[in-house]
Amino acid sequence: MYVLDHTLPYIILGMPELSKYDITIDCSKQKICQNGKNLNKSQNDKNHSNDKNKQNISLHISECKQINSHCSQTTEDQVNPPQSVTENKCELRKEVKDIIKNFDSVFSKDKYDVGALRVEPQRIVLNSDLPVSLRPYRTSPVEEQEIKSQVEKLLQAGLIKESNSPYSSPVTLAFKRDEGKKTRLCIDFRKLNALCKSDSEPLPLMDSLLDKLSKAKIFSSLDLASGYWHVPIHPKDTEKLAFCTNFGLYEWCRLPFGIKVAPAIFNRLIRRILTKYKIDFACNYFDDIIVYSSSELEHWKHLKTIFEICEKENIKLKLSKCVFAQTKISFLGYEIEQGKVSPNNANIETIKKLQPPTNVKELQRFLGSVNVYNKFIPQYAKLRYPLNQLLKKDVKFNWTNECQDAFDKLKETLTTKPVLNLYNPDVTCHVFVDASQKSVGAVLKQPDASDVLHPIAYHSRTLRDYEKNYAITELECLAIVDALDKFYYYLHGQKFVIHTDHAALVWLKNVKNLRGRLFRWSLKLSMFDYEIKYQKGCTNIEADMLSRHPVSHHLQHAVHLLDINEIKTQQKNDNLCGPKYHEVKDVIVIKKRNLYKIVVPFSLRLKLLNQAHEQFGHPGVQKMLNLITPQYYWPNITSDITEFVKHCSICQLNKKRKQKRFGLLQQVPPTSTPFECISVDTVGGFNYYNSTKKFLHIVIDHATRHVWAFPSKNENSETYINILKQIFQIQVPVKLLTDRNAAFTSSRFKKFLRNYNVKHLLTTAHHPQTNGKVERVNQSLVTRLKCKVNSTSTKVPWTKLLESVTNEYNLTPHSITKYPPAYLLLGTLPYDSPIGQNSYYEPVNEARNLALQRTIDYHNKNKIRYDARFVDKKFNPGDLVVYEEFHYPNTRKLTPPFSGPYEVIKQCSEVTYEINKPNPLTKQATQIVHISKLRCFHSPDKLKLSHE
């Protein structure tokens, strides 16, 4: 007990404190005694310097300028003093006192004295411009008076202003814990929040924040005064934050509580401020800022720096909620004390007082409260297993003795105050793993100063059905990779030790010729720098216990591509040296991003690439990089892997193209005169539509787009000759364009065309775009036929509908020429046609010229669109290429999409080439193919890796 300076404010000592320390107060004699001894300042100083074992009482005081005015305004403005961390407690109190006095402007004088962050006003973005407007809630006279009082204070502080906004959200009062009544002013923003555009600002991860405190010994907790009110709102958005009362409409000028995006906006601004000043001794969780230091002197400097930042950024702190220079502090529901973490006392007491649940909702609330601290509870899954059964669908809630035992055991485990050490990145980690036929488990530990291992975290999970069939060696491997996945952020980039009770795994790291799952897991493990130590199951109690009582989590796996002894030998032969290289256990390595990677000598690079590429299913460049670069290194490794994948013959034949195809658009020149060029094509698939004829043969005139359609039973040369004879009776064309069907390339058909002096043009094999006009007409006529056939209730043969469909097409203005094909061909339209009676067209010659110009314009636009998706490419004789084969959909799934490689013989046109690919139809040794079907082939023999 100490006599305090008279400059301090009034302090109320309750009966519990006076009784605890045997304090008696004699008002008549103005004496204060402890254990019968008179207390005064000189005596206190003397006792303090001599008696080091005297108990210390932690008092709630305020020590800053005008502190009495703080206390006279509100009883809330009391602050926890620093808990001494040295024997000279008077000096320590003076340091805190001086810092607080020097930064008086940082502390809020009352609830409405808040700062305004020096940042750009924040926007509130909505998904709709339709205002949200609600009527005010009805309130009692007492509540209305409280609301009016708070609104007036907000107006005076400039936090709100009167409004005429079309938006309106109602006000209500909520219960305030520290005042014991409804005094918290709340705005019901639920309707407005439904329109708010979400903000994906990541919120701080609790585990990451706790890890930062592992080396700290002294802590201070700073609380922003009405944190959200520090954030200014853009003038254009204040109207959206309007709220209504029974006595007026007001709108917020600062960020209010209750708006959906408020946490993201506020956390982003505080995070940016700490980042701006490169603060590595403080972290924030919303409006709570924790300052942590490893020594007393360092802590005062850190506090001073934080207060200076608060002054610069206009941040106000609430003195009554600030705690200074504590060796133990509550943060995020945990108690932190010099590298140790345990559940918060208040939360544990709350859980301790919970009664057994009577329904599923109450059980879910209990498990939710306990689950926050599951990493403190060994055998957590086993303990809560009976309770989990009650959560299953269609299971009646029946609270059995087994459930009660589980309930009591979980509460008992937490109320014994389990303690975990905080992770220290400077200390070696030890992972203890074990596996059973039901589950896998692990414990992460680190040694203290006395080299005694303490737990950092527990983990366990049940086995999946297929994993239960694994052999014991595979289960132990599974336990390792599962633990490394769970503790990845603690272990990656660090040297650590794995303890397991299966001796066969000790040799895993260096064994050769692994197969199957062990090989895949070993590859994944190669990403880590670890050592496996054998430990008997009887001494590996915690992990062994966890593996038999699991918790659910997911799995990751992983190994060595080259024998380490071979690497050592070849490194010596290559004479690797340089200042950037290091030698670790006779292996030359390089440090990249805190990871040591093996430097691969030139003689082993191709072998390494081949093994990785073949054993992992011929992955692409990025996946090859992900496989190799975490463990291995050599100069220009990325370009070498890129070249290696590009030169793989298996990949070139089996993987679909990702780059643009070759060949710019080459169009058949448009014609202006009818019958200057016609095209013929055939559509099949009409077998079952009330007719014996199953083929539709279509002829189109290029200049006029006029169509003739003929049904038939087959598609041989004789059929095509009879069709063309009917066309030739109208007029013999100059040119005929067809595909390479056997009927068109037969000697009889060629002789027929020679007799009429018709020039025969053939499309490129498997490239129907060459005959694009007739291909498009095929689709149009088939669609029209389909509609006709399916619109009649009677089964009419499709052949009887074909004539009407063809006439309708020829009498309809074409989308490109804007004229009916029949008009451009014949110069007139039938008198019984509705179009002929009601439409006027230019004279036929003028119409044909206009149709030609429109066709040319369309071709130009189409070429621009087409060429944007293709690349201009030229091949030379002797170049190697692969050819993209045609396969019908949903057939031959495992057939390579490309064949080859083939040699280019010669270029036949701008976009066609002759290659030495045998033609099975003509029996010729070469084929003429379109360039869009070709892809460059990179011979593996020409692969060259960099020799650095």
For the segment 241-253, what is each residue's pLDDT rounded down to a tens digit?
999 998 999 999 9
Question: Would you put residue 332 in left (φ > 0), alpha (ψ -120 to 50) or beta?
Answer: left
pLDDT attached to residue 66: 37
Helix (H) or strand (E) holding 588: strand 587-592
Helix (H) or strand (E) holding 469: none
Considering the chain, what is the average pLDDT of its residues?
A: 77
| DSSP SS3 for 458 | strand
| Position 84, amino acid | S
**What burial class does residue 607 get, using C-beta atoms within 10 Å of its C-beta: 0-12 exposed, 13-18 middle, 19+ buried?**
middle
Tokens of residue 743, six digits: 């009927």
Which residue would you say has higher pLDDT here, 3 or 577? 577
The predicted-structure confidence for 741-766, as pLDDT tens digits, reads as follows 888 888 888 889 988 899 988 877 66
Q: 39 with 32: CB under 8 angstroms?
A: yes
Kindly report which listed range (3-12, 56-65, 504-513, 561-570) carries the lowest average pLDDT score.
56-65
Instruction: Please list the residues that pair with 929 across neighbouring strands.
Output: 765, 913
| Bond into 131 cis (ω within 30) | no
pLDDT attached to residue 72: 38
pLDDT attached to residue 254: 92
pLDDT bucket at 78, cuts 50 / 70 / 90: very low
The predicted-structure confidence for 229-273, as pLDDT tens digits, reads as follows 999 999 999 999 999 998 999 999 999 988 888 888 988 898 888
> Can you give the length of the chain in residues?
948
Instruction: Report, as an integer, the average pLDDT of 826-832.
Output: 72
Residue 25, CA atoms < 13 Å, CB-side half-sphere: 8
Q: What is the DSSP letter of 832?
A: T
pLDDT bucket at 151, cuts 50 / 70 / 90: very high
| DSSP SS3 for 236 | coil
Those residues with Cβ within 8 angstroms of residue 63's Cβ, 6 or more apart along the chain or in another chain:
8, 79, 81, 93, 96, 97, 100, 101
The predicted-structure confidence for 517-533, as pLDDT tens digits, reads as follows 777 777 777 777 778 77
Residue with tokens 């439409």: 839
CA-to-CA distance for 15 and 1, rounded, in angstroms?
A: 15
Instruction: Report, as an integer, the average pLDDT of 456-479.
Output: 78
The predicted-structure confidence for 86-106, as pLDDT tens digits, reads as follows 333 334 457 777 788 888 888
The predicted-structure confidence for 594-636, as pLDDT tens digits, reads as follows 567 888 888 888 988 988 888 788 888 888 888 888 788 888 9
pTM comes to 0.42
CA-to-CA distance for 467 and 566, rounded, in angstroms?
A: 34
Is 70 exceeded by the pLDDT of residue 207? yes
The predicted-structure confidence for 656-683, as pLDDT tens digits, reads as follows 767 778 877 777 778 878 988 998 988 8
Question: Would you put residue 87 in left (φ > 0), alpha (ψ -120 to 50) or beta?
Answer: alpha
Q: 84 with 56: CB under 8 angstroms?
A: yes
The predicted-structure confidence for 904-918, as pLDDT tens digits, reads as follows 888 888 888 888 888
Kindly list the structural domains of the chain, giving each domain's residue range(s) and its CATH number in brackets, ordered by start: 94-343 (3.30.70.270), 344-420 (3.30.70.270), 564-647 (1.10.340.70), 677-862 (3.30.420.10), 879-942 (2.30.30)
Residue 550, CA atoms < 13 Å, CB-side half-sphere: 21
* Cα-Cα end-to-end distance for the chain: 74
pLDDT attached to residue 379: 63
